[in-house]
Amino acid sequence: MSYFAGDYDVAVIGAGHAGCEAGLAAARLGMKTLIFSISLEAVANMPCNPHIGGSSKGHLVREIDALGGEMAKNIDKTMIQIKMLNTSKGPAVHSLRAQADRKRYQMEMKHTLEKQDNLSLKQAEIVDIKIENNMVKSIETSVGAIYNVKAIIVATGTYLKGKVFIGDFTQESGPDGVFPANKLSEALKRAGVNLVRFKTGTPARINKKSIDFSKMEVQKGDVDIIPFSFEDKMKNFDQVDCYLTYTNAETHKIIRENLHRSPLYAGVIEGTGPRYCPSIEDKVVRFADKERHQVFVEPIGIDTDEMYIQGMSSSLPEDVQIAMYRTLPGLEHCEFTRPAYAIEYDCIDPADLKLSLEYKKISGLFFAGQTNGTSGYEEAACQGLIAGINASQKIKGKEPLILDRTEAYIGVLIDDIVTKGTNEPYRMMTSRAEYRLLLRQDNADLRLTEKGHEVGLISDERYEKFIKKRERIEEEKDRLQNTIIKPSEEVNEFLKSVGTSEISTGTRLSELLKRAEITYASLEAIDKNRPDLPEQVKEEVEIQIKYEGYIKMQEAQVEKFKKMERKLLPEDIDYNNVKGISLEARQKLNKHKPHSIGQASRISGVSPADISVLLVCLQTKK
């Protein structure tokens, strides 16, 4: 028996990393918001790895923070180890990665949701959504509660018709044994939403007391701790150690001998798995020439002895898993607490979305996270934030927030999945960003805080602090560019001591700083009038001066990109009536309905010749 449960602005279906950000953003923007989780124990769960950030993913977390999201603050509160990756390379690829206390991360995020004004967190399975005249109207729970809503954000992760595989064993299930969401898939199909089948997996967990860490390499955190959030000041804390071990010939032999027992290779699993995070059996088959693969052993919390074995996800039977895990140095006597498993689930074709993450054919229906065919907590969270913002903007009658490829990794991710679609779980990587020297993690606040403030998620107080920081960066750059150092004995002694050539004429401090051997910190030896500045300001000044030439080159490339993005295409254009473009281009353009010439040029199957025809067509229309 159904009953009416109330009127709301936004309903978020799912409370994983996408759902949490979506719900918080909508509520903070004044929307009366509901978040539904199939189990409140699964709010902000980390069913796969127990860490946040990593290469390129750390960029996303910083961008979420700069726009006013929560993930950075939550990991800063609950981390047990932190490390800056890729420090031997340039600043464009530096990226923070933190081990989380998995339970504390969940509890802290759940409590944040519970405390948030305008937000109600409820445990329920959504079984139906009502659409009238291609607009969302209401949602219904499994116990018959009907809520009228103005916008829906579907953020169901891997729960939609989730199915777990461990060898011959299969079970309808979401991650970690939580119930799957089966009826929502059918409701989406009835609404005309196209669904596809993807697959992901997770490694086994092992009891710490059964591991011999003396046979492994210790992986320690950084001494100098840098937080994810631009607002946080991180203090030292007792960091836990992680460990590194390797597979070997015996591991690979066991896997090869049992491939016939893998549902992945037996053809039982229908879904497409992630290319860049494959199972261990997939690695052994695809990289047959490799003698070993890295395996990281990571704690999942302070108050538990469960250890996560990164790099060993598998769908092989449990007895095979135990045998192969025990071939690794240090894991010879390991005891499983949870076996590895593969999980298959329904998701949508993200090419059916607008860049705002609204479904093209249904007004007010938004999608975010793994249900859009992506993988990773950080990829999910940034989509949730954008969906929450844009659902709120739509209700307010305002333009959506759309970040382009030159503004943020978030913009790259969304443009990739919406413009190109994806035939496998999409993972963010630095190589996907053409303008990565401009899209560094250190300058995410300079790129996005203003947008977060305009939308309404960045407070006036935080915005004023940001303006002050930006001013101090410019003032210090000006000072270094206008301060000339004379070629004194003291100066040349310093230059010799750091391994760079002496000067014979007056030289600007900014020119000296551009030398590879000189850092902003070391320059203090001859820079007598240096102001006392925060570390974030110093870092930004050094990067902007050292890489000035390369930055200007990318800025010129960006201007060309923007020029094509500003050439807007009408939404109602029928490309079948455009003479001169190929049949494939017509089909792809009619499906995607790109908003600009720039977006059209990134659609697979649309050639440069087709773009030239569209440009002529636009000019003729003008």
Mean pLDDT value across the chain: 94
Q: Which two tokens stand for residue 338?
A: 């949870």
The predicted model gives 173-177 an average pLDDT of 91
177-211 residues labelled b (16+ CB within 10 A) or e (exposed): ebebbbbbbebbeebebebbebbbbbbbbbeeebb
Q: Label residue 622 by pLDDT band (50, 70, 90).
A: low
Q: Where are the domains of the chain?
A: 205-344, 472-551, 566-621
In the predicted model, is pLDDT for residue 108 greater than 70?
A: yes
pLDDT digits (tens, 9 = 90+) for 401-451: 999 999 999 999 999 999 999 989 999 999 999 999 999 999 999 999 999
H/E run at residue 485:
strand 484-485
C-alpha Rg value of the chain to the nearest Å: 26
Residue 29: phi and psi, rounded to 5, are -95, 15
In the predicted model, is pLDDT for residue 73 greater than 80?
A: yes
Q: Percentage of residues in the chain with pLDDT exceeding 90?
A: 88
Please, which residues have CB within 8 angstroms of residue 532's CB and are 6 or more apart in sequence?
A: none
The predicted model gives 105-123 an average pLDDT of 98
Taking alpha carbons only, the member of 535, 371, 622, 444 closest to residue 57 is 444
CB atoms within 10 A of CB 39: 17
Taking alpha carbons only, the member of 17, 24, 21 closest to residue 120 is 24
In the predicted model, is pLDDT for residue 619 greater than 90?
A: no
Assigned superfamily of 566-621: GidA associated domain, C-terminal subdomain (1.10.150.570)
CB atoms within 10 A of CB 612: 12
pLDDT digits (tens, 9 = 90+) for 344-372: 999 999 999 999 999 999 999 999 999 99
- Residue 214 DSSP one-character state: G
pLDDT digits (tens, 9 = 90+) for 278-311: 889 989 998 999 999 999 999 999 999 999 999 9
Q: Which two tokens stand for residue 515?
A: 């030398």
Q: Which two tokens stand for residue 244?
A: 């590194």
pTM: 0.95
Q: Which two tokens stand for residue 490?
A: 């003291």
- Residue 147 DSSP one-character state: E
- Residue 239 DSSP one-character state: P
The predicted model gives 580-593 an average pLDDT of 90
**How far is it, in rounded angstroms, from Cα 618 to Cα 622?**
6
pLDDT digits (tens, 9 = 90+) for 196-216: 999 998 999 999 999 999 999
Q: Which two tokens stand for residue 78?
A: 């609950």
CB 25 within 8 A of CB 385: yes
Res 41: pLDDT: 94
The predicted model gives 84-96 an average pLDDT of 94
CB atoms within 10 A of CB 620: 7
Q: Label residue 266 by pLDDT band (50, 70, 90).
A: low
Residue 332: phi and psi, rounded to 5, are -60, -30
Q: Which two tokens stand for residue 20?
A: 């949490």
Res 276: pLDDT: 64
Q: Which fold has domain 205-344?
A: Elongation Factor Tu (Ef-tu); domain 3 (2.40.30)
In the predicted model, is pLDDT for residue 267 greater than 80?
A: no
The predicted model gives 537-543 an average pLDDT of 96
Q: Structurally, what CATH architecture does the domain formed by 472-551 represent?
A: Orthogonal Bundle (1.10)
- Three-state SS for 603? coil
Helix residue spans in 274-432 (DSSP H): 280-286, 318-325, 377-396, 409-420
The predicted model gives 54-78 an average pLDDT of 97
